[in-house]
Chains A and B, each alone.
Chain A
Amino acid sequence: MIAIVDYGMGNVASVRTAFQRLGYEVEITDSIERLEASTHIILPGVGSFQAAVQEINQRNLAEPLRRLAKEKPFLGICLGMQLLFDKGYENGSSNGLGLIPGEVTRIETEYILPHIGWNQLQIENNNQAFAPFQDKHVYFVHSFQARTDQQYLVATADYGTKVPGIVQNGPVYGMQFHPEKSGEVGVDLLKVFMEETNSDRGQLA
């Protein structure tokens, strides 16, 4: 069972549907027992970093999520990806889950913000699993981006600056764009995440 963390930050119907389309059983939950019983954890989210951290803390989910990310595959989507990092600076500074080294700051670009729309993925570090997605368009909506070491980058997008699109640290993955809103390409990306993590590769650094 795939658990989608329900913490009051945005609608998750589309995320659930995307995994159901791939044939997985999905549960939307904020229960720690259900998260423990799951095979994969998906952390979605739309809104501001600080508000999300508050919602997670109110539900006492930060510590369990940190622990479970070391035990099973974990995918953060959009704001959920940003929360994987150490710190965010949206509406003041707040601590993230610290599962991938780095910070989340406003995108510095000559282009307009938010970064809304379909942008192309550029595969980083010669990543083999995601290589077929080179130049594929996925749907982004955000004004803040992760700043992390090159080694954690799987794919980026060019928006006048390099915007991390997919990040990874062992079994912890993050997607800045919305795979559930990125048509067939998005569903295929989730499929690769499932295949990669089911193959039991990688340990959290």
Chain B
Amino acid sequence: MIAKRIIPCLDVKEGKVVKGTNFVGLRELGDPVEMASNYSKDGADEIIFLDISATNEGRQTMIDIVRRTAEQVYVPFTVGGGVRTIEDVNRLLKAGADKVGMNSAAVNNPQLITESSDRFGAQCTVVAIDAKRVGDKWHVMTHGGSKDTGMDAIEWAKEAESRGAGEILLTSVDTDGVKDGFDLALTEAVVSAVRIPVIASGGVGKPEHFPEVFNQTDVSAGLAASIFHESTFTVKQVKEVCTEQGVNIREA
């Protein structure tokens, strides 16, 4: 059977991996390619780069990072952040990204999903959704989780699927940074609404949070950033805990 995926995420700003996405007090952690390569050697099933560069130079640097990663990392990788147009998607895929994630741009222009899927295939079209609980629903948030679009996140996930998204990267704005585990209710709600793989994101504070989301929902993959940085925990440790708790994972 197909294995549950463990995915480290690297936030990249102007060519360097940084800690935290809240634009104050960012700390540089190192070279993205080197870190991605180390994660893959440690058993990461996939890598996600989130480009949070504020400048054009920074985004150009990202293209070089993608090119070097394709040559030096032997697991699939996704690039998201700042993808606005179909030309942005094309440029990242050409540089060697396996998949491209689109977030706000897809909300503003859902046709981008359709175009990307038609032209490059569902397999490389990832729609990232930032969701926040509002009453008994979840709303789609943009601008790094700060702006409420009023859109229903579950309905948006369904629309993304019907437009040809191959995967959904689902971040809970409520649990992100809290380190108390994934948002199980949101994850289950989206997983049961669509028939494409969902990656859960936001809230990991310890390895046990991965088997928790895998055993309590049918999610395909789990993403974490901070617990893997500075080797707080290794991917290998996470996988050991998953195996102990009966989760089918890939032994690297």
Interface residues of A, Cβ cutoff 8 Å to B: 10-11, 13-14, 17-18, 46-48, 111-120, 137, 139-143, 158-159, 178, 180-184, 186-187
Contact = CB atoms under 8 A, between A and B. Distances in A.
Interface stretch (B9-17, B25-33, B65-73, B104-112): B65-73
A46 B97 CA distance: 12
B76 A112 contact: no
B166 A116 contact: yes
A113 B195 contact: yes
B123 A119 contact: no
A184 B252 CA distance: 8
B18 interface: no
B197 interface: yes
Interface in B168-225: 195-197, 220-221
B74 A114 contact: no
Interface of A is mostly: mixed
Given A17-B72, A119-B1, 17 more contacts: A10-B93, A17-B70, A46-B121, A46-B123, A113-B195, A115-B2, A117-B197, A117-B221, A120-B1, A120-B3, A141-B76, A141-B123, A178-B76, A180-B74, A181-B76, A183-B75, A186-B74
B74 A183 contact: yes
29 contacts: A11-B94, A13-B70, A13-B96, A18-B74, A46-B121, A46-B124, A48-B121, A112-B196, A112-B197, A113-B195, A114-B122, A114-B196, A114-B197, A116-B166, A117-B220, A118-B45, A119-B1, A119-B2, A119-B3, A120-B1, A137-B250, A137-B251, A139-B75, A141-B123, A182-B74, A182-B75, A183-B74, A184-B74, A187-B74
Contacts of A11: 70, 93-97
B98 to A, nearest CB: 7
B114 interface: no
B43 to A, nearest CB: 9
Nearest to A10: B93
A17 B45 CA distance: 19
Contacts, number: 92
Interface residues of B, number: 34
Contacts of A119: 1-3
B77 to A, nearest CB: 9
Contacts of A186: 74
B123 A114 contact: yes
A116 B251 CA distance: 17
B208 to A, nearest CB: 22
Top 6 nearest A-B pairs by Cβ distance?
A137-B250, A118-B250, A13-B70, A118-B3, A141-B123, A119-B2
Contacts of B139: none
Contacts of B40: 183
Nearest to A116: B197
B167 interface: yes
A117 B2 contact: yes
B120 interface: yes
Contacts of B72: 17
B3 to A, nearest CB: 4
B219 to A, nearest CB: 11
A181 to B, nearest CB: 5
B70 A47 contact: no
Contacts of A140: 2
A80 B72 CA distance: 23
Contacts of A18: 74
Contacts of B75: 139, 181-183
Contacts of B1: 119-120, 158-159
Nearest to B218: A112
Nearest to A179: B74
A117 B3 contact: yes
B67 A13 contact: yes
A119 B45 CA distance: 11
A117 B196 contact: no
